[in-house]
Structure 1
């Protein structure tokens, strides 16, 4: 059919890979596919993945999406890849992967991160030099860890890539990076958009790491065309263009139309994120705010909480509830859960900045210890963390008329109302919940078009809001939620 322009969007996450086929002319998503990954977990917070799993899942999800869409892969004009941020993939001079990829959720490199932070002059020094405060999940501490723990591997490094850079390399044979995902490495200056080479020389004076850096390209620039053998393997047009791609948050921004000031994207996933587009790199003095670059040519101030659906899931499991029963109990309890507060810091926490915190239940009495109050308290507690982060972004000049909700938690009308009331802002879901895969497909269409200014028009056409999901704050709820939030702030202050 000549009146279609088909693009493949891929989102390679921690749990699995999703693929989606977008017709950029009609703005319709025609078909989707998914395949799971497993994690390598070890002592000291080790979290790694075998990169071959990503390639297998990429292939499987793509075949599924093409079949579901009922389209011929030869009609695909371009591919965009979204990837989990901060992960480290090391290649030798033959392009072979040297060891499993260390992931964003890996905390084994905390001591290395602490030493690098001291070298940078603490949080203030890191903010001044890089525009972000390096955290244990970032890529930079993984390099120092590799040098110290695996010196034989380190000696053979010829290329240092992020997960989405690695997938682009597999597709095209080219080593590239774009500003958005590069912002999360910890050796990239988000203001000047350049690698911080002296920091890598501090880790290894030989210059090996500097030589292994990928080339930086602009968001609207394609990496190149797909390799013929990979095109055949995927069943895709060998002339397909591979877009610059980006980190999952950057692609989620594009997939929610968050490419100009005024929109906030909030993701209710296993972790929670809140981010908004900025035209200038106004770096917040708050270490918790990461002023990353966007993958649409601007900046993307962002906060990330470590605990969200993992905490609600833990309470559901404890009380043996399915999602409907859990939501029914949340509704039964009043706002503030009759004084029951949960600080849901099961994994430590990034926002508020309490890396060594544990979870706690507070305010329990003989009368308020009910299943309904426990369910309500965990949803409120996790949402208060996002409110805390949103307040940090607002303090840095962010203004927003509405919040676009994505992620698993956004499917719950109960949770949407709680978010609207706690944030005192209208929330709405996008029709397409796989925002990162959609954003990657839209970016592929943008890179294919060759128009530097065509992104807004594409988002207008391809990002659809779900009017049925629109949820407005209720004045009485807002006041009660504010009281409960102040109680949460008091509890956090004692930690």
Structure 2
């Protein structure tokens, strides 16, 4: 048996698979986000440990006793600051926190960052957060002995080791992404050195062994291997078998991601596309990222006083984009805008705009933002031959039909099951424990494929053009 733990923003999920990769147990524990100021987003790492304990205790004892390996997946970019005793100095600043936008711009103005990392320094990345702490909380910064990413704090609890892996480390702005190693030059630019960084491994490598006292406490065998694991999207790529060039998936979760695998390192930071290491040796991936996907729908659902699923169920077949337009920039945007201050908007509302029309506008706004990501990826030369859909938003056929039509690409939906970060982490645990390679990361069986609606292709092209015009106008106002 192999356990995958996925530390998300809203909860921690555990999935156990057997040697045939069949899910035999799963459990979740909720997490909350603190937003003490506008643009801030924080969590207490202590809550992650409580959540992990909850998940482990919820797995049947007979299954825990058969676990041979553990893989880790998690939200990226978070800054967990530790002192010399490994005590947490302050709440973790999360991926969707934009307070460090000025620090990010300052680092990004130094051309060495884009040259070595292959990426823009986004406000949500880890390095600018350290500069913010240095400027605003100098006493805490002076006590920093180690910086960990969120899932790697779980690893410290599990193994006692300070270890990170390539896919997550690539989102810090401290990794030389082509060389797959920390950059001393980039670390020095933020007042750190290599001694503050965890040891690096590949996602499919062993990173440590479960501490004996935890094995005894939770009824796990001695010597359980803990794999390097992956950042959440790279782990999802392993889970759905997106590991070769031409393969891609669209994730409709809290954020939205268009993720494409690459055989080589092909950075294009000017496009605001993320170019990161994949979770397997010698592989990279690219992502277009939007900060609000289902988060945008859930926001509108709260305003409408309805569950998000109820909003989408009554929409019927795909319709041409209407006059009402929605810009999903509720907390800034990454690809392709790289703008922490831009905010969302409804445009073109009229007397005939009812709840269904507004719901369609929200879905279309996220759809067009994902098309922006596709266009940015295409500008780098990345080609998408196969596209899978994952995440909670993929349950809406209307939404997937809109995305397929806007992108001109069929979208395959896996059979019922969870092929996300926890499943991918469990697959990496198999690799680290048994020495198996990328052949473990096979694509899932497909339940259905949603084709573009050819008759509406032109209407969605026109809708996207109106969306871009509205985004340009809003960008000038914020």
Residue 132 in structure 1 maps to residue 127 in structure 2: no
SS at match of 1:219: coil
After superposition, the C-alpha distances for 1:327-381 in whole angstroms (9 at most, x for unaligned) are 24533783112x2222222222223414322222223344x42322211111001
After superposition, the C-alpha distances for 1:45-100 in whole angstroms (9 at most, x for unaligned) are 22211111111111111222x22xx7331210100010110011122222222222
Contact kept? 1:130, 1:187, Cα under 8 Å: yes
**Aligned match of 1:190 in 177, 183, 186?**
177
**Aligned match of 2:161 in 164, 174, 182?**
174
TM normalised by structure 1 equals 0.90
Residue 300 in structure 1 maps to residue 307 in structure 2: no
Residue 464 in structure 1 maps to residue 448 in structure 2: no
After superposition, the C-alpha distances for 1:154-192 in whole angstroms (9 at most, x for unaligned) are 232222111122111211111111111000001111112
1:172-321 equivalences under 5 Å are 172-204=159-191, 209-297=193-281, 298-321=283-306
**Aligned match of 2:70 in 79, 82, 87?**
79
Q: Which runs of 5+ in 1 are unaligned?
A: 1-5
Map of 1:43 onto structure 2: 37
1:381-392 equivalences under 5 Å are 381-392=365-376
Q: Structure 1 residues 59 and 399, CA, compared in 2 at 3 Å: closer, same or farther?
A: same
Contact kept? 1:403, 1:426, Cα under 8 Å: yes
Distance 2:212 2:269 in 1: 48
1:4-23 equivalences under 5 Å are 6-23=1-18
Distance 2:130 2:37 in 1: 19
Distance 2:217 2:420 in 1: 26
Distance 2:123 2:239 in 1: 28
**Aligned match of 2:431 in 428, 443, 446?**
446
1:366-377 equivalences under 5 Å are 366=351, 368-377=352-361
Higher deviation after alignment, 215-224 or 265-274: 215-224
Distance 1:211 1:169 in 2: 16
Residue 482 in structure 1 maps to residue 461 in structure 2: yes
TM normalised by structure 2 equals 0.94
After superposition, the C-alpha distances for 1:385-428 in whole angstroms (9 at most, x for unaligned) are 00110111122122222211111100112212112111111112
After superposition, the C-alpha distances for 1:440-485 in whole angstroms (9 at most, x for unaligned) are 000000111124xx222x122xx52342x32111211223222212
Distance 2:405 2:340 in 1: 28
Q: Structure 1 residues 482 and 37, CA, compared in 2 at 3 Å: closer, same or farther?
A: same
Map of 1:455 onto structure 2: 438
Distance 2:404 2:280 in 1: 27
Contact kept? 2:11, 2:29, Cα under 8 Å: yes
After superposition, the C-alpha distances for 1:254-291 in whole angstroms (9 at most, x for unaligned) are 01101111211111011101111101111125341010
SS at match of 1:404: strand
Map of 1:493 onto structure 2: 472
Residue 53 in structure 1 maps to residue 40 in structure 2: no
Distance 2:137 2:302 in 1: 39
**Aligned match of 1:89 in 80, 83, 93?**
80
Q: Which runs of 5+ in 2 are unaligned?
A: none
Contact kept? 2:152, 2:162, Cα under 8 Å: yes
Map of 1:436 onto structure 2: 421
Higher deviation after alignment, 150-159 or 415-424: 150-159
